[in-house]
Amino acid sequence: MSEQQTENPRMRMTRYVINLLESWELNASQQLDTLALPEGTRTRVLRAFHEDTPLPDTADVNLRVEHILAIDEALHTTYPHSEKMGALWMRRPHRRFKQRTPVNTIIEDGLQGLVSVRMHLDCSWVS
C-alpha cells in the first residue's frame, strides 16, 4: 500500500483545501480567516497543514471546508478541461458580486461570501 492510500483522509483533505486556497491566491492571513481558525492562530500553522497536521475538527471549520470543496467541485463542472480557469474565475470581478472578485467576496464577507459564491456556481444548492 502506498503512503497516500494509508494517509488519514482528513489530512488529505487538509492538504487539498490549503493548496486550493493558495491557487486562489489567498495570502496566509486570508486563508486563516477563510477557514475560521481561532483568533491569534499564527500563519506558520499553514506549513503544518501541508506536512502532518489536519485542520481542526470544529463545526465552523467543517462548514467552511464544505463550502470551499463545493465551490471547487462546481468550478470543475463549469471548467472541466482546465483547472486554471477555475482559479482565474475566482480572481476576476463579477457583476453578481458588485464587481468584486469571488475571492474578495469571500475575504470581505466571510461565511456569507462563501455561501454567495457557492450559490452562484451551484444553482442546485440552496442555503
Residue 108 lies in a domain: yes
- Let me know: does 63 contact 35? Beta carbons within 8 Å: no
**Assigned domain for 103 exists:** yes
Say if 83 falls within a structural domain.
yes
pTM: 0.90
Considering the domain boundaries, does residue 127 fall inside one? no
Going by C-alpha positions, the residue among 37, 64, 62, 59 that lies closest to residue 48 is 37
Total number of domains constituting the chain: 1
pLDDT by residue for the chain (127 residues), tens only, comes to 445 555 699 999 999 999 999 999 999 999 999 999 988 889 889 999 988 899 999 999 999 999 999 999 999 999 999 989 999 999 999 999 999 999 999 999 999 999 999 999 988 656 5
Give the domain range for residue 71. Answer: 3-121
Angle, vertex CA 28, rays to CA 87 and CA 42, nearest 5: 155
In a domain, 90, yes or no: yes
Identify whether 88 is part of a domain: yes
Angstrom distance (rounded) from CA 47 to CA 108: 24
Could you write out the DSSP letters of every residue in 52-77? Answer: T-PPP--HHHHHHHHHHHHHHHHHHH
User: Could you tell me if residue 95 is inside a domain?
Assistant: yes
Residues in the chain: 127
Q: What is the sign of the dihedral through the CA atoms of 18, 63, 29 and 80?
A: positive
C-alpha distances out from residue 8 to 4, 15, 52, 94, 122, Å: 9, 11, 10, 37, 29
Question: Is 126 within a domain?
Answer: no
